[in-house]
A and B are shown apart, each in its own frame.
Chain A
């Protein structure tokens, strides 16, 4: 640390100027989103955003100027929670298997594999989703053996017209599965580090008092590693809510028929904010992206995502502070 010397050298000034570039970039990027969403807010108002149905460039009835983001917000919540519910047990068991329970030889390979998997781009996961569709989603959830007419006559099936729109290649469930695959390699190492950083004396004291390893894991190690668990959940939420490619490919772009009927219907194409924004800007099927009201609405959905992300970060910081205070006292 050289900051004890207060003198301003040329090197220090130069480094400071360089260090201000990322800050400027951040401010410009965030400012861009806020500046562009002003038109959407001014034209439609916040209330209309939450109630109006979306009519994007690709819906059947295209009436520009109605962008209700309420279904998209629900979609983000659904798919992120689903991804987290799928990813968390796997991350936790990966971390525990790599550190505790006397499996020293398992730790290094698991860490290497996780760091390799964390480099896989999201577009690859999106491309791979077709294999899960053909081997899991279609036989299990779409009644592939049933002809459409037979689906229509099934007892208790409410909407016979819906038979053609069963989840075949796009649904929140599929998106949740692949977002979980995306975030597991980022969540598990954080929990793993936290488990490693639990003081060795605590573990040894617990074992010396006659507790089993399982008891030590549940009552000593995992409470001690709660900090890492909070960090892992945070990064999982941020990555899952921010990803555009997987949610566009596996869920679809725009939910244009209002909210799903049971609100938790994970078999529908309930597009989250990210892919709704991507769809509103356009640039698909050979078209060129538009800078009109769709762009403004997309900026507003990006702004909502930013607010969500910083709320999550703030909440995580508060939780971490509360945990450390409780852990010390």
Chain B
């Protein structure tokens, strides 16, 4: 990951989001190829999904094949945050801090139903999807997803990285917690957290 895009573009090169030129596309190809094949995961395992994640990392499924050789237990050396399991509100500031500590470029995978939507836990303790706390790139459904599911999610993330380009000015933008104390608008969080499936039959007062 030694080759950074911002350092490699010579001063004065005009980079436009409308017309990527020969230099940027070749550079994108090279950096994206390097990045997608050396994703270092930061495992944030909170529940049973973490067990499937461990299985994915172990010899039978072997995440190393995707360049995820090294589990990064420090966020400062990590590229992709994998939230494996449910996230209670008590852990929300923790995952947010870990995400803020990760350097760019960084991605996030939400593994399992609970991390993606709160799952069956539509209760007072549970964050209804980690996308209300941090931006998420890939959602892996399942309860818990099998290792094949997680690996499919990882290949999807690799495809997404292949499509990234320096010509996109918003690509490496940090989405910080704003002055109002949230990273998304409040009505957006309420909308994401709306009950669905069986829990729509349950009123807020029940």
The answer to whether A binds B is no
The chain B residues found within 8 Å of chain A, CB to CB, are: none
